[in-house]
Amino acid sequence: MKYEQLANDIIKNIGGKENVNSVVHCVTRLRFKLKDEDKANTSVLKDMDGIVTVMKSGGQYQVVIGNHVSDVYKAVLSVGGFDTQSSADEESEEKQGLFNKFIDIVSGIFAPILGVLAASGMIKGFNALFVALGLYANTTGTYHILQAVGDALFHFFPVFLGFTAMKKFGGNHFVGMAIGAALVYPSLSGITEGEPLYTLFQGTIFESPIHITFLGIPVILMSYASSVIPIILAAYVGSKLEKWFIKVIPDVVKSFLVPFFTLLVIVPITFIVIGPIATWISSLLGQATVWAYDLSPLLAGLILGGLWQLFVMFGLHWGFIPIAMNNLAVFGYDFILALISATSLATTGVVLGVMARTKQQKIKTLSIPAAISSIFGVSEPAIYGITLPLKRPFIITLITSAVGGGIMGATGTKVYMMGGLGVFGIPSKIGSEGLDIGFWGGIIAMGVNLVLGFILAYLFGLSKKNKDGESLKEEDNHNSTDNNQDENITSPLKGTVLSLSEVKDEAFSTGALGKGLAIDPTEGKLVSPVSGTVTALFPTNHAVGITTDNGAEILMHIGLDTVQLNGKFFKSSIKQGDRIEKGQLLIDFDVEQIKQAGFSVVTPVLITNSDKYKELILTNADNVDPGGQLIKAVIH
């Protein structure tokens, strides 16, 4: 490991890993929360090779590294054995918006198992397809074994979700699995046979027969196989209980008494309270989505199909995943995953249309693997490599996907299991009725998306320069890194110009991270001072790095210690890897709100590889507007 020795030295001189509550990093520095900052050898760290300086601010012990901070951070995590999830959660738990927190929780729970989830669904789907085609009967051993392989994960889904949910909530993963296993314990399912002891909520939609009690308390037994919401709620409550038991139980017996008491409390609570309430919520949620779908399946298909790629790009698709899986558990089918299942074929058609029309060899070369991956449901190479940069093809993809979604909505296409992506998702559309109109509607929609996407992209997807190859030379120039040219950096902000020495942050004021200027902004719009590529964008959107076409590395850091706002008051218009032009809007930020939160908005604008230039000519203006000359980097 390249930075292993540096990581060891850092951990040693901050008082050892036992002195660390948490560690995160921003665009230039490691940010430790130490139990006792007096144990840190600050002077030793400051003199250490690989460390720019050390600072203390906002309750954090900051070790300034520079541009390669992410690599050092990984080494520190590895050497120190720190938990990245808990570190990040401690930093952001209170500052994250409710919606973003919901998306983060859902993605953290489901993302680790999506691969095996899709694989299991594909096995079930192909098994159903082979029976429908008459290759073998559903009474054969082949069918039953394949069904066991494909269906096991779904039947015992609470066990798997117990692991990932408890991990996400910071609890013992195996306690989560034990909770999930209790929910699907086989002998409990047979107890519901026969006459009930009595009935609760008789005459209401929550009417529930009671077959057993726990210490005299009635237990509403339900089927939790394939369920989603009950185990997630149980894991959340269980993680809170576990943390409380960890605080009150002596260390010498924690290893077995903490899980003992956690399971002893959470499992009965889950059966008595959490499980029934969560199941009722699941049913109501399912009924609500079905009601919305039934209002107009065609409209639902047009909207979901047309907007799905946008949802994916912004991470909003995670909000639909638990609803879809809940529908599968409650009704045995889902329409959400069906209506978006032809989107990847639309992307394939659009990319093939672009490839057939353009004369640019670079685009043709990129299109072949992008189209192949899209056929199998992996559209990111096509989106970020072809359609989005060219803009028109991306819009055509959305339009075509809406058409496919509308066709499936009109024909009642549904999925009956979690399946594969792209063409591998076809078998998941086979229900108990076999190859019905919904199945064929899905096939037609995929075909239409493929053909329509190709035709529209071929006819309307490219501007003249992308058709005839005129921009190829320009594109090649964008990707060059010729450091033999002077560089003109314009102002990214409107505001007052300050020298770096006036910045109240040693990492910037000393020029340790690079030379340049600072701006005290009067407007909260950061635009690009150069043309180039976004090579660094911190998740909190408070700092962005750009490498110009000629190789200059520009860093803009909005405010001081604003990483602690965790993205609040910042909105990015770009993502890492984007090609951007001079003057293009990068980030919106609320100057007044940031100030009211107690942070400075003074923004250093640095050339981090300034040592490659003979001279930097800085503006002598007191105030600048976006686009005004700020720095000239002279190479010779």
Per residue in 572-601, pLDDT (tens digit) is 999 888 888 889 999 999 999 999 988 999
91 pLDDT higher than 50: no
pLDDT band at 159 (very low <50, low <70, confident <90, very high): very high
Query: Are residue 494 and residue 591 in the same domain, yes or no?
Result: yes
Q: Choose the final residue of a domain: 95, 115, 138.
A: 95
Provide mean pLDDT across the span 101-121.
71
For residues 399 and 310, give the distance between their C-alpha atoms in angstroms, rounded to a whole number. Answer: 12
Query: Are residue 558 and residue 518 in the same domain, yes or no?
Result: yes
Query: Are residue 168 and residue 69 in the same domain, yes or no?
Result: no
The reply to whether 137 falls in a domain is: no
Average pLDDT, the chain: 84
Provide mean pLDDT across the span 76-92.
64
The reply to whether 37 falls in a domain is: yes
For residues 615 and 312, give the distance between their C-alpha atoms in angstroms, rounded to a whole number. Answer: 45
Query: Are residue 460 and residue 508 in the same domain, yes or no?
Result: no
Place of tokens 């055509």: 396
Q: Which of 23, 24, 26, 109 is catalytic?
A: 26
For residues 426 and 433, give the distance between their C-alpha atoms in angstroms, rounded to a whole number. Answer: 15
Provide mean pLDDT across the span 378-403.
83
Per-residue pLDDT at 57: 66
Provide mean pLDDT across the span 229-240.
92
Orientation of helix 321-331 relative to helix 229-248, angle to 10°? 110
The reply to whether 142 falls in a domain is: no
Provide mean pLDDT across the span 199-210.
83
Provide mean pLDDT across the span 610-617.
86
Number of H helices, E strands in the chain: 26, 22
What is residue 589's three-state secondary structure?
Answer: strand
Query: Are residue 411 and residue 499 in the same domain, yes or no?
Result: no
Residue 65 is part of a domain; what is its CATH number?
3.30.1360.60
The reply to whether 200 falls in a domain is: yes
Report residue 110 as tokens.
């489901």
The reply to whether 322 falls in a domain is: no
CA distances from 24 to 86, 92, 361 (A): 10, 10, 43
* Contacting residues for 473 by C-beta, under 8 A, at least 6 apart: none
Residue 554 is part of a domain; what is its CATH number?
2.70.70.10
Question: DSSP letters along 404-424, please?
Answer: HHHHHHHHT--BSS---SGGG
Q: Choose the final residue of a domain: 468, 499, 525.
A: 468
Query: Are residue 284 and residue 375 in the same domain, yes or no?
Result: no
Query: Are residue 437 and residue 357 in the same domain, yes or no?
Result: yes
Region class of 426: left (phi > 0), else alpha (psi between -120 and 50), else beta: alpha
What is residue 49's three-state secondary structure?
Answer: coil
pLDDT band at 235 (very low <50, low <70, confident <90, very high): very high
242 pLDDT higher than 60: yes
Per-residue pLDDT at 312: 67
For residues 324 and 333, give the distance between their C-alpha atoms in angstroms, rounded to a whole number. Answer: 9
Instruction: Work out the angle at residue 38's Cα, subtended by the Cα atoms of residues 37 and 41, and round it to the nearest 5 degrees.
Output: 90
Per residue in 170-181, pLDDT (tens digit) is 899 999 999 999
Query: Are residue 463 and residue 350 in the same domain, yes or no?
Result: yes
Query: Are residue 180 and residue 280 in the same domain, yes or no?
Result: yes
Query: Are residue 521 and residue 399 in the same domain, yes or no?
Result: no
Per-residue pLDDT at 99: 56
Query: Are residue 275 and residue 337 in the same domain, yes or no?
Result: no
Which carries the bigger pLDDT value, residue 226 or residue 473?
226
Per residue in 314-358, pLDDT (tens digit) is 546 666 777 888 888 888 899 998 999 999 899 999 999 999 988
The reply to whether 78 falls in a domain is: yes
* Contacting residues for 140 by C-beta, under 8 A, at least 6 apart: none
The reply to whether 104 falls in a domain is: no
* Contacting residues for 608 by C-beta, under 8 A, at least 6 apart: 66, 67, 513, 514, 545, 553, 554, 555
Domain extent for 520:
487-634
135 pLDDT higher than 60: yes
Query: Are residue 303 and residue 446 in the same domain, yes or no?
Result: yes
Provide mean pLDDT across the span 116-134.
79
For residues 468 and 570, give the distance between their C-alpha atoms in angstroms, rounded to a whole number. Answer: 40
266 pLDDT higher than 90: yes
Percent of the chain with pLDDT strictly greater than 90: 38
Query: Is 38 known to be catalytic?
Result: no
Q: Taking a C-beta distance cutoff of 8 angstroms, is the pair 306, 398 a contact? A: yes
For residues 411 and 438, give the distance between their C-alpha atoms in angstroms, rounded to a whole number. Answer: 5
Bridge partners of 32, per DSSP, are: 23, 61
Q: Choose the final residue of a domain: 412, 435, 468.
A: 468
Per-residue pLDDT at 446: 95
| Domain count along the chain | 4
Residue 29 CB burial class (10 angstroms; 0-12, 13-18, ≥19): buried
pLDDT band at 481 (very low <50, low <70, confident <90, very high): very low
* Contacting residues for 120 by C-beta, under 8 A, at least 6 apart: 149, 150, 151, 152, 153, 154, 418
Per-residue pLDDT at 479: 39
Per-residue pLDDT at 470: 42
Per-residue pLDDT at 435: 87
Count other C-beta atoms under 10 Å from residue 191's C-beta.
11
89 pLDDT higher than 50: no
Which carries the bigger pLDDT value, residue 79 or residue 411?
411
The reply to whether 194 falls in a domain is: yes
Q: How many residues does the chain have?
A: 636
> Which of 73-77, 91-95, 478-482, 611-615 comes out lowest in average pLDDT?
478-482
Per residue in 31-61, pLDDT (tens digit) is 888 888 889 999 899 888 888 778 876 567 8
Per residue in 529-553, pLDDT (tens digit) is 999 889 888 888 899 999 888 888 8
Residue 94 CB burial class (10 angstroms; 0-12, 13-18, ≥19): exposed
Instruction: Compute φ and ψ for 551, nearest 5 degrees.
Output: 100, 0
Enclosing H/E stretch for 20:
strand 20-25
What is residue 302's three-state secondary structure?
Answer: helix
425 pLDDT higher than 80: yes
pLDDT band at 74 (very low <50, low <70, confident <90, very high): confident
Per-residue pLDDT at 68: 74
Per-residue pLDDT at 243: 92
